[in-house]
């Protein structure tokens, strides 16, 4: 079946001058040992890192390096690239003989690697300004979520609560369910004169962090 790459170009709002470069960026080595995405992926990984690092410095000019490192890592890791790949249905355009199971589901690693390779191809074909626009558009929700990262959510909520109410946030375990090897905690957090914000997590700590994230997202309403 012939792949219609024009639908992908419409999704990412890029019209490639070199269509072969686009195809190469989505070709796994199992399909073509010579013309595949491996080297372009190497480039794409660096381009993504540069653009995300640049954006984080613009958003957080006074943030500590340690916090920036954590935000950066969460935005450029394979998990996020996989989510972006699925967002633009990249699996429909990848040429590969390497499959995960009988349902022809492409492996997650191939998808995330292809996402980075596509970034490299756009950079080579269109230059820095265009790929920067593409990345910031595709990563916009993830960048927005990085404003409140789970890593420092409890700390930020504590600072907010002390500054506004002179009191610490109040955390309460609502439930602890599931088997011992796979527990599920539900935790509520409440500030003075606010409703409770409830979230779940695989541990008490994770659930508290998730609840703190929810609460922080609503601080403008408090």
Stated length of the chain: 222
Active-site annotation holder among 41, 45, 125, 208: 45
Contact 160, 219 (CB under 8 A): yes
Residue 45 annotated among the catalytic residues of the structure: yes
Active-site option among 113, 116, 125, 152: 116
- Residues 8, 90: contact at Cβ < 8 Å? yes
Establish whether 69 is a catalytic residue: no
Label residues 200-218 b or e (16+ Cβ within 10 Å = b): ebeeeebbbbbbbbbbbee
For residue 105, what is the DSSP state?
Answer: P
CB 152 within 8 A of CB 88: no
What element of type H or E holds 115?
helix 108-126
Going across the sheet that includes 197-201, the strands are 170-177, 184-190, 197-201
**Residues annotated as part of the active site:** 45, 116
């Amino acid at each position: 079946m012939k792949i219609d790459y024009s639908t992908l170009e419409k999704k990412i709002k890029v019209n490639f001058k070199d269509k072969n470069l686009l195809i190469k960026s989505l070709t796994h080595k199992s399909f073509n040992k010579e013309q595949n995405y491996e080297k372009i992926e190497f480039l794409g990984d660096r381009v993504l890192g540069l653009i995300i690092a640049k954006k984080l410095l613009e958003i957080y000019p006074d943030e500590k390096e340690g916090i920036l490192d954590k935000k950066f890592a969460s935005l450029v890791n394979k998990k996020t690239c996989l989510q972006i790949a699925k967002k633009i249905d990249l699996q429909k355009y990848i040429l590969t003989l390497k499959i995960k199971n009988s349902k022809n589901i492409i492996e997650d690693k191939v998808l995330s690697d292809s996402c980075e390779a596509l970034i490299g191809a756009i950079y080579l074909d269109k230059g820095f300004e265009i790929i920067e626009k593409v990345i910031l558009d595709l990563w916009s929700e993830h960048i927005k979520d990085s404003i409140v990262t789970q890593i420092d959510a409890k700390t930020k909520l504590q600072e907010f609560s002390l500054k506004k109410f002179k009191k610490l946030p109040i955390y309460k375990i609502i439930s602890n369910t599931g088997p011992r090897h796979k527990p599920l905690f539900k935790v509520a957090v409440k500030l003075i004169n606010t409703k409770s914000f409830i979230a779940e997590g695989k541990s008490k700590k994770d659930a508290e962090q998730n609840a703190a994230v929810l609460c922080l997202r609503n601080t403008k309403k408090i």
